Amino acid sequence: MKLSDNKATLSFSNGRPAIELPVYSGNIGPEVIDIRKLYGQTGMFTYDPGFLSTAACQSAITFIDGDKGELLYRGYPIEQLATQCDFMETCHLLLYGNLPGVADKAAFVKNVKYHTMVNEQMQFFLRGFRRDAHPMAIMTGLVGALSAFYHDSTDINNAEHREVAAIRLIAKMPTLVAMAYKYSIGQPFMYPKNDLSYAGNFLHMMFATPCEPYVVNPVIERAIDRIFTLHADHEQNASTSTVRLCGSSGTNPFAAIAAGVACLWGPAHGGANEACLQMLEEIQASGGISKVGEFMNQVKDKNSNVKLMGFGHRVYKNYDPRATLMQETCNEVLEALGLQDDPLFKLAKALEKIALEDDYFVSRKLYPNVDFYSGIVQRAIGIPVKLFTGIFALARTVGWIAQLNEMISDPEYKIGRPRQLFTGSPRRDVMAIAKR
């Protein structure tokens, strides 16, 4: 970051002396006011619950221009990565800062492939869960449990450990998600197959059985690979900020990523794709497109607490570019599977059209986000609704690791420890229980 010639002066109406705060600029995007000395100079904190106006770190990984609806991974537009590259190239880009050439890609893919198996003991963790346990409960447990198996890569301050842990996590997440799915349907776990692509191997572990050969559908394989790319990273979202804050204590990468899985589960974040599909199914069950008007009135009624899931975003105040690409992927998959008339896809497109013409949404700059169409395409592929967020976690793991490693390698990083505006009781003494 560069010191800007712009300065910020903070003055107070109560006569307290004004102070000058440095302003820094990055390469693109908003400048920042450096408040690190504010408390020392004024005895005051800033106040920004939800961090709407707070840059918690500097980063060179992902940039979003919310007004333009632009998403860049290390400078490359998501539209180009999702159509001209695959997820393994995107992982290399996010982790190391560049798209690999042929030889580097082959070496990276081979390294990932040779870490896809998990320790045989991992299966016994699953046996402790009910068969109907939510996959995100299982994933939160399994990812944290990985730290019990890899003592040779848990020192977050050791660059070699960070590299091995990154590959292990990227490689093993598909295996764990597929194990959670197989466990829920009572089928045997399928081991990874190294002769398949990353996406193809995931489909195989999900849908193959030991009883017969499984052929990967190339259209579905491409769609899943693109879904992974679209979900790979997204600046300092809630789960990435969780991973950074958790990792700032020096805990091992597996524990930090498990914290990210837990945060992503929430319906306001990664859980929105599951909630969005449930919303579409409920509208469909209550009458479909004819009921959309009634549903929209509920959404606009503040007291209903009903939201149009898959719509709106803290940063995008324009169309989420991932939603556009996801809709295209939806079309391709439904076409390939002969499901062009999928009623939920038609319903989603009708909802989107109505919302984008309704002042409630237009005035609040609410547009479809990545979760609006992702559920429809995953459901068409045969992925159960409850597993959608697990797949989001699988894809976001590379982003979480890249962001965690960027933080740890920053010599300026410290353990995160926000302060507060205290509104509770001033000091008071305990009274004997007989007098309370």
Active site amino acids: 313, 371
Shortest Cβ distance from residue 233 to ligand SDX (Å)? 8
DSSP-derived secondary structure for 63-75: EEETTTTEEEETT
314 binds ligand SDX (CB under 6 A): yes
Q: Which stretch binds ligand SDX (CB under 6 A): 67-75, 80-88, 362-370, 408-416?
A: 362-370
Angle between helix 198-207 and 218-230 (nearest 10): 110
Residue 201 or 237 with smaller CB distance to ligand SDX: 237
14-21, long-range: CB < 8 A, 24+ apart: 16/42
Q: Locate all alpha helices (DSSP H) within 186-341, ordered by sequence.
A: 198-207, 218-230, 238-247, 253-264, 272-285, 292-300, 321-336
Dist. CA 123–CA 127, nearest whole Å:
7
53 binds ligand SDX (CB under 6 A): no
Q: How many residues bind ligand SDX (CB under 6 A)?
A: 21
Q: Which stretch binds ligand SDX (CB under 6 A): 22-30, 103-111, 120-128, 306-314?
A: 306-314
CA 49 to chain centre: 20
Out of 145, 223, 366, 404, which residue is the one contacting ligand SDX (CB under 6 A)? 366
User: Judging by beta carbons within 10 Å of its beta carbon (0-12, 13-18, 19+), is residue 307 exposed, middle or buried?
Assistant: middle
Backbone angles phi, psi at 278, to 5 degrees: -65, -40
370 binds ligand SDX (CB under 6 A): yes
Out of 197, 237, 329, 374, which residue is the one contacting ligand SDX (CB under 6 A)? 237
> Which parts of 123-206 are beta strand (E)?
none
Residue 144 or 270 with smaller CB distance to ligand SDX: 270
Footprint (CB under 6 A) of ligand SDX, residues 96-115: none
Amino acid at position 153, single letter: S
Shortest Cβ distance from residue 50 to ligand SDX (Å)? 6
User: Judging by beta carbons within 10 Å of its beta carbon (0-12, 13-18, 19+), is residue 223 exposed, middle or buried?
Assistant: buried
368 binds ligand SDX (CB under 6 A): no
Out of 190, 277, 308, 348, which residue is the one contacting ligand SDX (CB under 6 A)? 308
Residue 253 or 270 with smaller CB distance to ligand SDX: 270
Out of 44, 60, 159, 268, which residue is the one contacting ligand SDX (CB under 6 A)? 268
Over the Cα atoms of the chain, what is R_g? 24
168 binds ligand SDX (CB under 6 A): no
Out of 105, 193, 269, 346, which residue is the one contacting ligand SDX (CB under 6 A)? 269
Residue 121 or 304 with smaller CB distance to ligand SDX: 304
Residue 100 or 271 with smaller CB distance to ligand SDX: 271
Q: Which stretch binds ligand SDX (CB under 6 A): 40-48, 212-220, 313-321, 380-388?
A: 313-321
Nearest one of 39, 31, 59, 33 to 408, comparing CA atoms? 59
Contacts of 82 (CB under 8 A, 6+ apart): 226, 229, 230, 325
Out of 92, 113, 134, 234, which residue is the one contacting ligand SDX (CB under 6 A)? 234
Out of 146, 272, 383, 391, which residue is the one contacting ligand SDX (CB under 6 A)? 272
Nearest one of 2, 74, 61, 64 to 29, comparing CA atoms? 64
Footprint (CB under 6 A) of ligand SDX, residues 332-361: none
Q: Which stretch binds ligand SDX (CB under 6 A): 69-77, 197-205, 368-376, 401-409?
A: 368-376
DSSP-derived secondary structure for 30-74: --EE--TTHHHHHS-----TT-TT---S--SSEEEETTTTEEEET
Q: Which residue is nearest to ligand SDX (CB)?
A: 312
Out of 260, 310, 321, 390, which residue is the one contacting ligand SDX (CB under 6 A)? 310
Dist. CA 92–CA 85, nearest whole Å:
11
Residue 105 or 269 with smaller CB distance to ligand SDX: 269
Tokens of 346: 């038609």
Contacts of 162 (CB under 8 A, 6+ apart): 153, 156, 253, 405, 408
Please report which helix (H) or strand (E) contains residue 93, including its range. Answer: helix 87-96
391 binds ligand SDX (CB under 6 A): no
Residue 309 or 344 with smaller CB distance to ligand SDX: 309
312 binds ligand SDX (CB under 6 A): yes
299 binds ligand SDX (CB under 6 A): yes
Q: What's the residue count for the chain?
A: 436
371 binds ligand SDX (CB under 6 A): yes
Site residues (vs ligand SDX, CB under 6 A): 234, 237, 268-270, 272, 299, 307-315, 364, 366, 369-371
